[in-house]
Amino acid sequence: MAKQYETVIGLEVHVELATKTKIFCSCSTSFGGAPNTHTCPVCTGMPGSLPVLNKQVVEYAIAIGLATNCEITRVCKFDRKNYFYPDNPQNYQISQLYLPIARNGYVEIETGDTKKKVRIHEMHMEEDAGKLVHDEWDDTSIVDYNRSGVPLVEIVSEPDMRSADEVLAYLEKLRMIIQYLGASDCKLQEGSMRADVNLSVREMGSGKFGTRTEMKNLNSFKAIARAIEGERQRQIELLEEGRAVVQETRRWDDNKEYSYAMRSKEDAQDYRYFPEPDLVPVMIDEAWIEKIKMMQPELRDEKLARYKKEYEIPEYDARIITESKHMADIFEKAAAICKNPKKVSNWLMVETLRLLKESGMEPEEIRFSPENLAKLVKLTDSGDINSSVAKQVFVKMFEENTDPESYVKEHGLRTVNDEGELRAVLEQVIADNPQAAADYKSGKEKALGALVGQTMKIMRGKANPGQVNQRLKELLG
Amino acid sequence: MANKISDETIEYVGILAKLWLSDEEKENARSDMEKMLDYIDTLNELDTTGTEPMSHVFPVNNVFREDIVENGDGSEDTLANAPLKKEQGFKVPKTIR
């Protein structure tokens, strides 16, 4: 019988914090500026420049540490990690090795029906490097230091995950916690959340870990899942052939679905860490931690429980809505205004999700305001517009955050409740369709549908179909 | 001379620093580094029992900046230091193969 193998995975997750300025200087962190416009002597490593720590970075890091059940380090310091690479103008990265800001935490993940804790070994603050753009034609790379010095936290897990599903559940959990805290937008594709995967395999039941490799260059959830499967297979094949797994860093090529060893002997990894002399220690006292705890917003798990209780919406719907902080905010505000949480939830669950999917957008990119969604719900609740008109208005609102009230008014979409006008149209329809009218009278219920359809067409959707149905029956009765 | 730096160490430090050293340069580097280690050895002559390790001389902590953008476009000054430029960026030999 073939041997059974178990995959053991630990993650290093880098998250770019949502500060306005860089970690050690007051250059802007905004994305997409022309190359090197957000730079100064500090973030380009000019001799004699002095870094000064951004207080907001420490506060975001404490908030993330608390939300992931970590112990906050009361005396924390920065260290220099030395390496030479063109994206790193100082020739060292300011990071934390000896006294990272948070340690010994965990998050709870769910895969299928199983709950499990993934422990967090430590989390530290550090600066990001510059960006390299490679020129295919003339064998050069171009360096842009706009990203150099953008604040990051690196969250290092224990090797507690056993499958790609668990890894994805863990990343989703971190993403939601951090987005809810407002500490980062956590976009994998844009690089504001990045994951390195440490993976080893061992024979099922073995108490010892196998030799691990580290995989980089994973920028989507799909790539992570594929990389885990690919690397697992590669390592098992080596072991089956009686060869050893080499501890090394590998680069995942998602097009070729294979990982390649990244470093050679020439790039020996020895960072010669030492304490950063230009930055003084950060002392974090109880009062500071308490203050941040007080400001901590309601996180996803609490919100989920409250939605089911307070709004009485199904678990499934509550899960989808709270998966995105932005969507949850829209839901709560709109529900508070129109006092109809069920209808608000329906608009989000059905039409919103459908249009998001069609346009390839994320829930974070929803443009309509909760005020406008509430107005739309009120218009349908009062019977001022019928459901097909509402859907048409919603599409407009989804695209341009159009005010439903003014849109309905401008386009004359209000349901006609004028008895006289409706009656005139109905009589006309009956006169124009004598066959259908006769069929209905002789007991063919179905024939009524054609008459309702005709009426709605003439009224251009502005009538209430239920009411049309009723009146027709009365007239033909 | 308490410390002797081996050939392997000189070779290794050279690789880490991405420096190609001639034999003469290696000898000079070895002698410089040995002098530094000898200087640090002075510490061994002192009794340091009960002395806490420290990374800063001054008893100062929690020096922070508020998160406010103060720097404008610094590209001109930054790029003034670039030996080679292209499209507002530093041009360097290609870093991946």
> Which range marks the domain in which residue B16 is found?
1-45
- B14's enclosing H/E stretch is helix B7-16
In a domain, B12, yes or no: yes
Q: Pairing relation of β-strands A151-157 and A5-16?
A: antiparallel
Select from B74, B20, B56 the least CA-distant residue to A266: B20
Q: Does A86 touch chain B (CB under 8 A)?
A: yes
**Sheet hosting strand A79-82, strand order edge to edge:** A92-95, A79-82, A274-275
Query: Between residues A210 and A419, which one has the greater pLDDT?
Result: A210
Whether A415 shows a pLDDT value over 50: the answer reads yes
From B81, which residue of chain A is nearest by alpha-carbon distance?
A46
What is residue B52's three-state secondary structure?
A: coil
pLDDT, tens digit, for every residue of A338-388? 999 999 999 999 999 999 999 999 898 999 999 999 999 999 988 888 888
Relative to beta strand A282-283, strand A92-95 is unpaired
> In this structure, is residue B72 part of a structural domain?
no
CB contact under 8 A, A135 and B94: yes
Residue A104 contacts B, CB cutoff 8 Å: no
Predicted confidence at residue A205, as pLDDT, reads: 87
The interface residues of chain A toward chain B in range 283-322, judged by CB-CB distance below 8 A, are: 283
Provide long-range contacts, Cβ within 8 A and 24+ apart, for A445-453: A448/A472, A448/A473, A448/A476
Whole-number average pLDDT of chain A:
91
- pLDDT tier at B69 (50, 70, 90 boundaries)? very high
Q: Are residues A163 and A227 in the same domain?
A: yes
Among A36, A56, A282, select the one facing B62 at the smallest CB separation.
A282
Mean pLDDT of the B51-71 span: 89
Query: What total of structural domains would you count in chain B?
Result: 1
Residue in chain A closest to B93 (alpha carbons) equals A140
Domain residues for the domain of A440 are 419-476
A462 and A441 assigned to the same domain: yes
CB pairs under 8 A between A and B: 139
Contact residues, A window 423-452, toward B, CB-based 8 Å cutoff: none
Answer positive or negative: Cα dihedral of A389, A395, A396, A398: positive
- Cβ contacts of B58 on chain A, cutoff 8 Å: 280
Q: What CATH number is associated with residue A449?
A: 1.10.10.410
- Percent of residues, chain A, with pLDDT higher than 70: 98
Residues in A closer than 8 angstroms to B57, CB to CB, are none
- Report ipTM (2 d.p.): 0.87
Q: Are residues A304 and A212 in the same domain?
A: no
State the smallest CA–CA distance between residue A65 and chain B in angstroms: 19
Q: In chain B, which residue's Cα lies nearest the Cα of A56? A: B67
Is A77 in the B-facing interface, judged by CB distances under 8 Å?
A: yes
Interacting residues of A360 by C-beta distance below 8 A, sequence separation 6+: none
Please say if the pLDDT value at position B92 is more than 60. Answer: yes
Domain boundary among A359, A379, A410: A410
Domain count for chain A: 3
Task: Report the residue from A35, A52, A268 with minimal CB separation from B87.
Answer: A35
Query: How would you classify the pairing of strands A213-216 and A249-253?
Result: parallel
- Provide the pLDDT for residue A96: 97
pLDDT at A23 over 80: yes
The residue of A17, A23, A27, A36 whose CB has the most chain B CBs within 10 angstroms, and thus the best one to mutate to test that interface, is A36
Rg of chain B, C-alpha, whole Å = 22
Residue B79 lies in a domain: no
pLDDT of residue A142: 94
**Residue A452 and residue A322 share a domain:** no
Q: Is residue A293 part of a domain?
A: no
Task: Please compute the mean of the pLDDT values over residues B77-84 and round it to a whole number.
Answer: 92
User: Of residues A453 and A154, which shows the higher confidence score?
Assistant: A154
pLDDT at A418: 67
**Are A147 and A209 in the same domain?**
yes
Model pTM score = 0.83
Domain shared by A82 and A227, yes or no: yes
Asked if A46 contacts A163 with a C-beta cutoff of 8 angstroms, the reply is no
Average pLDDT over residues A188-200: 91
Quick one: A272 and A318 in the same domain? no
Residue A275 lies in a domain: yes
How high is the pLDDT of residue A268?
A: 61
Residue A265 has pLDDT above 50, yes or no: no
What CATH number does the domain containing B17 carry?
A: 1.10.20
Q: What is the pLDDT of residue A178?
A: 96
Mutation target for B interface from A135, A142, A276, A282: give the one with most B CBs within 10 A: A142
Nearest CA in chain B to A146: B75
pLDDT digits (tens, 9 = 90+) for A279-304: 999 999 999 999 999 999 999 989 99
A255 and A373 assigned to the same domain: no
Q: And the tokens for A440?
A: 């209905």
Percent helix, percent strand, percent coil in chain B, to nearest 5: 40, 10, 50
- Are A127 and A39 in a shared domain? yes
Between residues A170 and A409, the one the model is more confident about: A170
A392 shares contact with chain B (CB less than 8 Å) = no
In this prediction, what percent of chain A has a pLDDT beyond 90? Answer: 68
CB contact under 8 A, A21 and B68: yes
CB nearest to A141's CB, from B55, B58, B94: B94
Residues on B contacting A at a C-beta cutoff of 8 Å: 12, 15-18, 55-56, 58, 60-71, 73-75, 77-79, 81, 86-96
* Nearest one of A197, A212, A216 to A246, comparing CA atoms: A212
